[in-house]
Amino acid sequence: MTVSPKPAITAGAGYPLARRSPGVGHGVPDRVDPGMLGSPIDEPFPNRLIIAVDFGTTYSAVSYVPVPQGCSSESVDPHSIQSIENYPSNWTYIANDQMVVEVPTEVIYPLNRHFRDEETSNEGPWNVVDGVQDEAHTPESVSDPDLDLDHGSRHDEDGDFDMMSDPSDDLFRWGYQVHELWSIPSTHSDSSTQPLSRFKLLLDSSAVTQTLREKVQATVNELKRQRIVKESTNIIADFLTHLLKHTQDELRNQGFDDSYRKEIVLCVPAIWTQKACRHMQTCLAIVMKRSCFQGVDVQNNSIENLFIVSEPEAAAAFVLTERRDFNCGDVFVLLDAVDANTYKISNKEPLRLSQEVVAPGGGLCGSSFLNEKFGEYLKKRLETETYLEEGTETINGIVEKIIMDQFEYRIKRTFDIYTSAKSSKLFAVSGLRENRSKRFKQGSIIVPLWVPMPHLSVSQSA
């Protein structure tokens, strides 16, 4: 992967330029020079637009800030940074919900392996791995008697068009579209419909994520078997393509057309290896080409105006713009949910951070794990209520509907430990029979707002 020499680019752990903390032996990415963002080049762009992509394990987000002609990036007011919203199928039940700027990092693939050709017939190569056209997915190399190659239509055994087929079955779903489909109980009676989440971990090689990677890889292997994808990186590229396409649409709606020079900043985990960063850069080249960003040469793996920065340093740089009482030599700890990073300020103006003073620490105990444990709790309580499983209804589907319709979008986002712990919560379960000993009401299950989960463990990464 070659990158335009004018932008700065960080390197993952294991890059020749990666530095090590004295006495720790923990490689960290080399840092982006903020002053290099938007450094003068010869191209006559009157204005610049810095776009930051946060590709997260559970949720992803994109933020942007315009930089007027003649202004440096460091002169931009952090409060002028805005985030992309209006994600497809986003459910907003709460006023001023801060989650509207984030989108689930999840996908569901159709069983029609030609869906890319139908979606993007005029948008350049989709099926590319490491800069090479993926011939395994081209119409010429694949024949399927059950699919119409021109339209991906499903046919019955006699070759006639199946009038009962749903055209939406051949759609690729991403983000909130996955939650929308997964909240329908009947979806769970079809074993071929499997959402993919946490696929960012496929680029991680640490021991702490091994079990999760194996679970994700099992679904990936099935997609490979059906020739829906060729490599694991295809999944990352497909998700990011839809994310950046939506970003481009939203930016155009805000008046940011092609007259703006767009600079992309990608945040990556500090512990990523050289190989992980290289795969991510390759994916991003493909994604930017698909999304019609300028300055991308997929065949030569060349990207102009691309900057890669470690996630903790990006967060630290933003936090320190709000605090003017730090001085050169000060050491601070940056806490981000379950992650902790310690830095020393080596220069104040412009801001420079030294290597991490100690190795970063963290764990796998984010919001999605809470959903999983709550789901296990509900399934355990409902496992003997087999009469609920009629037709396409399943216990798993009923539980997922509760999680998506009520728990994820309502309970979690309004829960207050000071006021919510005094009562229980009713969750609708259609057809559930009353049973006081099981704390069942007619058509609903009673759940205390404090649920003991002794089996809930946290895997430590440091």
Q: In this predicted model, what pLDDT tens digit does every residue of 232-245 receive, in sequence order?
A: 899 999 999 999 99
Say if domain 2-104+237-322 classifies as CATH 3.40.50.
Answer: no
Give 32's contacts (C-beta < 8 A, 6+ positions apart): 8, 9, 10, 265, 307, 308, 309, 313
Region 31-40: mean pLDDT is: 47
pLDDT beyond 90 at 83: yes
- 3-state SS of the chain is CEECCCCCCCCCECCCCCEECCCCCCEECCCCCHHHCCCCCCCCCCEEEEEEEECCCCEEEEEEEEECCCCCHHHCCHHHCEECCCCCCCCCCCCCCHHHHCEECEEECCCCCCHHHHHCCCCCCCCEECCEECHHHCHHHCCCCCECCCCCCEECCCCCECCCCCHHHHCCEECHHHHHHHCCHHHHHCCCCCCEECHHHHHCCCHHHHHHHHHHHHHHHHHHHCCCCCCHHHHHHHHHHHHHHHHHHHHHHCCCCCCEEEEEEEEECCCCEHHHHHHHHHHHHHHHHHCCCCCEECCCCEECCEEEEEHHHHHHHHHHHHCCCCCCCCEEEEEECCEEEEEEEEECCCCEECCCCCCCECEECCHHHHHHHHHHHHHHHHCCCHHHCCCCCCHHHHHHHHHHHHHHHHHHHHCCCCCHHHCEEEEECCCCCCEHHHCEECCEEEEECCCCCCCCCCEECC
Q: What is the pLDDT of residue 444?
A: 93
pLDDT beyond 90 at 246: yes
State what percent of residues in the chain have pLDDT above 90. 23
pLDDT beyond 80 at 413: no
Q: What is the pLDDT of residue 120?
A: 56
Residue corresponding to tokens 């702490």: 208
Q: What is the pLDDT of residue 35?
A: 44
pTM of the shown model: 0.72
pLDDT beyond 60 at 360: no
Q: Is residue 28 very low, low, confident or very high in pLDDT (cuts 50, 70, 90)?
A: very low
Q: What is the mean pLDDT of the chain?
A: 74
Q: Is residue 94 very low, low, confident or very high in pLDDT (cuts 50, 70, 90)?
A: low
Q: What is the pLDDT of residue 165?
A: 44
pLDDT beyond 50 at 136: no
Tell which wins on pLDDT, 16 or 294: 294
Contact (Cβ atoms closer than 8 angstroms) between residue 308 and residue 266: yes
Residue corresponding to tokens 């680029």: 203
pLDDT beyond 70 at 22: no
State what percent of residues in the chain have pLDDT above 70. 69
Residue corresponding to tokens 């006023």: 95
pLDDT digits 0-9 by tens, 56-80? 888 999 999 999 888 887 778 888 9
pLDDT digits 0-9 by tens, 209-228? 888 889 899 989 988 988 88
Which residue, among 242, 303, 247, has the nearest Cα to 62 in the 3D structure? 247
Q: What is the pLDDT of residue 362?
A: 54
In whole angstroms, give the CA distance from residue 136 to residue 216: 22
pLDDT digits 0-9 by tens, 313-349? 788 777 777 777 778 888 888 877 667 778 788 777 6
Which residue, among 264, 316, 280, 118, has the nearest Cα to 203 in the 3D structure? 280
Q: What is the pLDDT of residue 189?
A: 67
Q: Is residue 394 very low, low, confident or very high in pLDDT (cuts 50, 70, 90)?
A: confident
Q: What is the pLDDT of residue 417?
A: 73
Region 426-436: mean pLDDT is: 92
Tell which wins on pLDDT, 39 or 103: 103
Contact (Cβ atoms closer than 8 angstroms) between residue 198 and residue 136: no
In Å, how far from its chain's centre is CA 67? Answer: 26
Tell which wins on pLDDT, 196 or 154: 196
